Amino acid sequence: MARVHVTTPLTEEQVRRIRAGDEVYITGTVYTARDAAHKRMLEDLAAGRGLPFDPRGAVIYYVGPTPPRPGQVIGSAGPTTSYRMDKYTPTLLRQGVKAVIGKGYRGDEVKAALVECGALYLAATGGAGALLARAVEAADVIAYPDLGPEAIRKLTVRDLPTICIHDVYGGDQYYAGQSQWVKPDAMFKPRPPQAAE
Partner 1 sequence: MRQLHVDEVAAAVARLVREANCVLEPDVAWAIARARSREESPVGKAVLAQLVENATIAEAERVPMCQDTGVALVFLEIGQDLHLVGGDLTEAVNRGVAQGYQEGYLRKSMLDDPIRRKNTGDNTPAMIYTNVVPGDRLRIRVACKGGGSENMSRLQMLPPSAGWEGAKRFIVETVAQAGPNACPPVIVGVGIGGNFDKCALLAKLALLRPVGQPHPDPEWAAREEELLEAINKLGVGPMGLGGTVTALAVHIEVMGCHITALPVAVNIECHAHRHKEVVL
13, 47, 183, 197: which one binds partner 1 (CB under 8 A): 183
Contacts of 131 (CB under 8 A, 6+ apart): 78, 125
Q: Which of 97, 23, 89 is nearest to 58 (CA)?
A: 97
User: Does residue 78 belong to the site contacting partner 1 (CB under 8 A)?
Assistant: yes
Of 22, 32, 38, 114, catalytic:
38
10, 63, 157, 164: which one binds partner 1 (CB under 8 A): 63
46, 181, 192, 197: which one binds partner 1 (CB under 8 A): 181
Q: Distance between CA atoms of 119 and 89, rounded to whole angstroms?
A: 11
Contact string 9-48 vs partner 1 (x = CB under 8 A): ---------------------------x------------
* Residue 38 bears catalytic tag: yes
Closest CB to partner 1 among 55 and 174? 174
Asked if 172 contacts 20 with a C-beta cutoff of 8 angstroms, the reply is: yes
Asked if 32 contacts 51 with a C-beta cutoff of 8 angstroms, the reply is: no
